[in-house]
Amino acid sequence: MDDAAYIDTMRAVGRAFSPAAPITDRDLLAGRQTQLRTLARVVAQSGQHALIYGERGVGKTSVARVTQALLDDAVLTAYYTCNSEDVFETIWTGILGEISVVTRAPNLGFGHEVRQVASSAVDLLAAEVGPHTVVQALGAVSASVPLLVIIDEFDRPTDPRVSPLMADTIKILADRAVRATVILVGVADSVEELVAEHESIQRALVQVQMPRMTEEESRDIVRRGMAAAGLDVEGAFVDEVAVLSQGLPHVAHLLGLHGATRALDTGRMTVRRDDFDDALNEALRAASQSVRERYHNATFSNSDTLYKDVLLACALAEKDDMGSFAATDVRQRLREITHRDYEIPAFAAHLKAFSVSRTRGGILKRIGAKRRFRYRFRDPLMPSYIVMKGRVDGLI
């Protein structure tokens, strides 16, 4: 393969596998047909809105982006990604600032000619931004064309006023049947907060859960990506990726990318099973320095060798919709890793250290009440790194 062909193929691989960015092309999005059709129905129904929720890393943003791409010809769309500093006002000024409205105005001078004047929809907002003024602005924008607003990372703003004000906005939009649909994207906590503010909002807010992908859907990611890049792939490579990715599309994309790169670097257009081990090692090397350091700090010990096993068991533990797990879930996985039946007190101190100890990096977040604690990884990328490291180290 000459240099030009290599570069062209690598570009195709980069388009097909995007572990660092959401998917925007329906042809490259494996599965999720149920969620996409539900969202399409929501947009088509007056007074309906939606919240896409699920644990981090399951592809919520990709589904939102593909929904936007699929409906772009039928509706006017606006996409906004929240950050921790956002408040209700900045979210809506950001959204409306991206929408242009065109009005007709008379020309200066003689005659009856008119001219079209483009301006930002943010000009439609009143000086005081609140649910009623936002609804009025959305009503004006959607008077001539249906509007779809997608608000991603809705769980990130720390201002406690965001959820109640957004709940009020959705309630008013639904009551007035404004032709504007709001789709929020966040974690399960977002659902509870919104419903807590307005129980009646449940009639207007369709909750779209994003579970982890099945192994077959993970296989589909690899097959679609390789085919889009013009590469063949052995079934054994596909199976290895499907098992190790644990239903997280980010990991399937990451391993697919490195497997394809390994094959091309050795002059092949077929990705083999042998490429999986190289892909796995390359994925670990490419992990951020902060992830590697936190893993090292959490597992390093001169005497206790159980830290790596317990942390791996946490990464493999069965998770709920919020991405949390209990000590009993860890116990089952720890038994499979060590082939020993540990009682919870044997590793309870490890879970506490991962949660509150400065030396162990605060890698877990502990939630709930004493004796009923649940745990959640603070960094959504960490469990994937732990599982890949466990595979390389021979723990699984």
Q: How far apart are CA 144 and CA 99, in angstroms?
A: 13
Greater model confidence, 260 or 118: 260
- Residue 103 — pLDDT band, cuts 50, 70, 90? low
3-class SS at 1?
A: coil
Instruction: Please say if the pLDDT value at position 281 is more than 90.
Output: yes
CA angle 89, 95, 97 (to 5 degrees): 95
Instruction: Please say if the pLDDT value at position 199 is more than 80.
Output: no
Q: How far apart are CA 303 and CA 63, in angstroms?
A: 46
C-alpha Rg value of the chain to the nearest Å: 24
Q: What is the pLDDT of residues 19-68, one digit of tens each?
A: 877 877 777 677 788 999 999 999 999 889 999 988 878 889 999 999 99
Q: Which amino acid is at 245?
A: S
Q: How far apart are CA 265 and CA 253, in angstroms?
A: 18
Structure tokens belonging to residue 354: 């991962």
Structure tokens belonging to residue 150: 């997608």
| pLDDT value of residue 118 | 44
* CA distances, 124 to each of 120, 140, 147, 244 (Å): 8, 8, 15, 50
The structure tokens 């999720």 sit at 32
The structure tokens 């039928």 sit at 74
Domains of the chain: residue spans and CATH: 3-17+213-286 (1.10.8), 32-209 (3.40.50.300), 289-392 (1.10.10)
Q: Which amino acid is at 372?
A: R
CB-side neighbour CA atoms (13 Å) of 221: 31
* Element housing 298 (H / E): helix 289-299
| pLDDT value of residue 321 | 73
Return the minimum-mean-pLDDT range out of 144-148, 306-310, 336-340, 380-384.
Answer: 380-384
Greater model confidence, 107 or 279: 279
The structure tokens 């890949």 sit at 388
| pLDDT value of residue 63 | 92
For range 246-260, the mean pLDDT: 92
Q: Which amino acid is at 88?
A: F
Query: pLDDT exceeding 70 applies to what percent of the chain?
Result: 93
Q: What is the pLDDT of residues 200-252, one digit of tens each?
A: 788 889 999 888 889 999 999 999 999 999 999 999 999 999 999 888 898 99
Q: What is the pLDDT of residues 5-23, one digit of tens each?
A: 899 999 999 999 988 778 7
Give the number of other CB atoms < 10 A from CB of residue 111. Answer: 8
Q: What is the pLDDT of residues 133-144, one digit of tens each?
A: 999 999 999 988
| pLDDT value of residue 114 | 46
Greater model confidence, 193 or 86: 86
| pLDDT value of residue 109 | 53
Instruction: Please say if the pLDDT value at position 185 is more than 50.
Output: yes
* CA distances, 285 to each of 264, 278, 388 (Å): 19, 11, 11
| pLDDT value of residue 117 | 40
Instruction: Please say if the pLDDT value at position 115 is more than 50.
Output: no
Closest of 126, 123, 68 to residue 96, by C-alpha = 123
* Element housing 261 (H / E): helix 249-265
DSSP assignments along 36-62, one per residue: HHHHHHHHHSTT-EEEEE-STTSSHHH
Greater model confidence, 43 or 3: 43
- Residue 113 — pLDDT band, cuts 50, 70, 90? low
- Residue 116 — pLDDT band, cuts 50, 70, 90? very low
Q: How far apart are CA 167 and CA 131, in angstroms?
A: 9
Supply the pTM of this predicted model: 0.80
Query: pLDDT exceeding 90 applies to what percent of the chain?
Result: 57
Is the Cα torsion angle 88, 91, 93, 95 positive or negative in sign? negative
Average pLDDT, the chain: 87
DSSP assignments along 189-250, one per residue: HHHHHHHHH-GGGGGTEEEEE-PPPPHHHHHHHHHHHHHHTT-EE-HHHHHHHHHHTTT-HH
Q: What is the pLDDT of residues 344-358, one digit of tens each?
A: 999 999 999 999 887
Q: How far apart are CA 55 and CA 250, in angstroms?
A: 13
